[in-house]
Structure 1
Amino acid sequence: MSDAPPETTQKPALTCWFAGLTTLDVIHRSVVRPGPNQKVTAVRQDVSAGGPAANAAVTAASLGARALLISPVGAGPVGAAARGDLEHHGVEVHDTAAGTEIPLAVSAVMVDDETGDRSVVSPDATLVDGVDVTPVDLDALPRPRVVLLDGHHPDLARRVLAYAKTLDPRPMIVLDAGRWRPVFADLMGSADVTARSADFHAPDGVARSRATVATHGGDPVTWCDEAGRKGTTNVPAVDVRDTLGAGDAFHGALVVALGRGLDLEAAVEEAVRVATIRVQHVGPRSWLEHLPCG
C-alpha cells in the first residue's frame, strides 16, 4: 500500500472579465471644501488606480476570483502607477494599449472628512478619443464566466461583447450603468443584468436587459430578475467614512456572486454587504483587508 497522500482536486478559480476604464486617482481628504481661488490643506492623500471596471476588478480579486481587466493603460508613467496598484491587488491587466504611451486620465478626487461624500473631476476616457484601444487577442485570455462592461470605451465594449457572445458556454454579461452613454443602446439588449444607479435613464425604444438592479445611495436596492420577480434589499445604516468607489465595489461583488451561482436576490445581498464594508473605511484600498476571501 502506498503511503502517498490522496490526490486532491482543486476547484478552478472563478474567472471574471472587467472591460472598460482605468484612471489614476489622486485623492485628497479635507475638512473643508475650497471656495473660489482658495487653497486648503488635506488631512490625507492617497493615489490609486480608479475607474469603474478597474475598481470592480480589484474587489473581485480580493473576494478570491481571477479578475482580468481589459482596458487601455499604456506604457507611460501614469499608466505604470495605475498598473502597479492593480497588480498589487491581484488584478491581471490585459492592456489594450500595451507598448504605447497614452494620456491615461488622472482623476482629481476630494472626499469630505465629515460625511465621506466624494467629488470627482476626470476626463475619463475622452483623452484617448480617436486612439484604437480595441482588444485583438481575446482568444489568448482565460475564458470568463461573467463579463462586466462599463461602457467608457465604446469600441472596446462592443468588441468584448461580440466576442463573449461567440463563446460556449456563453458568459453572463453585466453592465455597470452609472449614467447613460450612447453605447448602452448597443449593449443592453444582450446583457443579462444591468446594474444601474438611480440617475441612469435609458431612452425609450432601447432594448432592456434580462434583469436589472438599481442602487439608491443609502436607500434600499431594487431589483427585477429574468423571471420578472421584483424585490428590494435594505442597505444597513452604518457610519459612512468614505463613499469613493462604493458603487464599483458593489458591482465587483455582484459579478463574483453571480459567477458563483447565486440567484439575483442573493447576489444583491452579497453586493450590499461588500459595499457596506467599503464605505466604513477611509481610503481607496484599506477596506479590502476587511473582506473574507471567498
Structure 2
Amino acid sequence: MRTCWFVGLTTLDVVHRAAGRPGRDEKVTASRQDVAAGGPAANAAVTAAALGARAVLVTALGSSPVAQAARADLEACGVEVHDVVAPGEDFPLAVSAVLVDDATGERSVVSADAALAEAPPPTFLRDLPAPDVVLFDGHHPVIAGAAVGHLENRDPRPQVLLDAGRWRPLFAELLPVADVAAVSARFTVPGHDDVVSGTHALGARGVVVTHGGGPVEWSTGGEAGTVAVPPVDARDTLGAGDAFHGALAVELADGATLPVACAAANEVASTRVAHVGPRAWLTEVRAETRAEAPR
C-alpha cells in the first residue's frame, strides 16, 4: 500500500446550503447543514484514504470539543491522525463558516485557518510510516519546517507535493523542495508575471495549474501541456481543489507521470463537485477503487 503524508491545516467546517447569499444585514434560511473536518491537508488526506492509500495527517488539533469532532470525522474516513499538540492540551482549532449556493454550487468561506495560534513542532515524525509522497498545504510553518528537515534525512527522499492555492510567505521556503507545485489560476508569485515560470523560478521541478472547470496545465522537465476536465454538473465545489490534490498525491505515489496523474485527479475532483455535501461523494470513489483493485 502506498503511503502519503499530509502536513498542514485541519479545521471544523460548518456548511450551510442556501438558495442564495445573504445581503448586508440580512439572514437566509439554509436548506441543508453539514459539519465535517476541513482544511486543505485534511481534505486531501480524506480523498487519499478513499482511494485506498495509507493517509497520514500531521496537523494541530488539541483536545477541545471542536477538535474532537474534527478528529472523529477524519478517523471515520480512514485517516491516520497525528496531532502535534500534546494530549490534554487545548489549541484554538479554527471553525470555518461555509455557504454553498444551491443554484451554482459555488462556495464562500470565512475561516481563521491557522492564524489563531502557532502550532508546536512535531516530535513523532521518526515513528511514522515511510511516505512515498508528502503534501504540504502552506499552513502551520513550524510543522512544515520540521517535516522538511526530517525528509532531508530520508533515503530515498519521498516526492514533495505542494498545495498552493494562494501565495503564503512559507511557499518561498517550500517551493525549492517541491517536486510538484499544484497552484490555482489565482496564485501569484512575487516578482513574476507568469505563474508557471515564476513557480519554476523559485525551485519547483513540476508545476500544475488548475482553472476550475477549465483544462489543467502541467509543466515538468522542459515539457508542458494541458489535461481536459470531464464535464460535470457542478452541485458543490467545496473541497474540490483538495480532492484534486489528494488524488494527485496518490497517483504520484503510484509512479504516474504528471499528465497521467493530473487526468486521474481531474476525474476525482469532478466526482466531488457532482455531489452535495462534504462526504457523500466518497461512497462513489470508494466503490470505483474497489472495482479497480486487482483480484
Give the TM bin, normalised by the shorter chain: over 0.9
What secondary structure sits across from 2:92 in the alignment? coil
Alignment of 1:1-294 (within 5 A): 13-99=1-87, 100-129=89-118, 132-204=119-191, 207-225=202-220, 227-291=221-285, 292-293=288-289
Superposed CA deviations along residues 132-161 of structure 1, whole A, max 9, x for unmatched, are 421112101111010000011112111111
What secondary structure sits across from 2:116 in the alignment? helix
CA contact (8 A) 1:24 1:50 kept: yes
CA contact (8 A) 1:72 1:98 kept: no
Distance in 1 (CA, whole Å) between partners of 2:128 and 2:149 is 15
Aligned partner letter, 2:211: H
**What TM-score comes out, normalization by structure 1 length?**
0.93
RMSD: 1.1
Superposed CA deviations along residues 149-183 of structure 1, whole A, max 9, x for unmatched, are 00111121111111112101100000000000011
Count of aligned positions: 279
**Structure 1: runs of 5+ lacking an equivalent:** 1-12
Shift of 1:238: 1.2
What secondary structure sits across from 1:79 in the alignment? helix
**Structure 2: runs of 5+ lacking an equivalent:** 192-197
- Identity over aligned pairs, percent: 59
Distance in 1 (CA, whole Å) between partners of 2:12 and 2:106 is 19
- Larger mean Cα displacement after TM superposition, 205-214 or 280-289: 205-214
What secondary structure sits across from 2:270 in the alignment? helix
CA contact (8 A) 1:73 1:98 kept: no
What secondary structure sits across from 2:281 in the alignment? helix
What secondary structure sits across from 1:94 in the alignment? strand
Shift of 1:222: 0.2
Distance in 1 (CA, whole Å) between partners of 2:39 and 2:175 is 20
- Give structure 1 regions of 4+ aligned residues with deviation exceeding 6 angstroms: none
**What TM-score comes out, normalization by structure 2 length?**
0.93
Rg larger for: 1
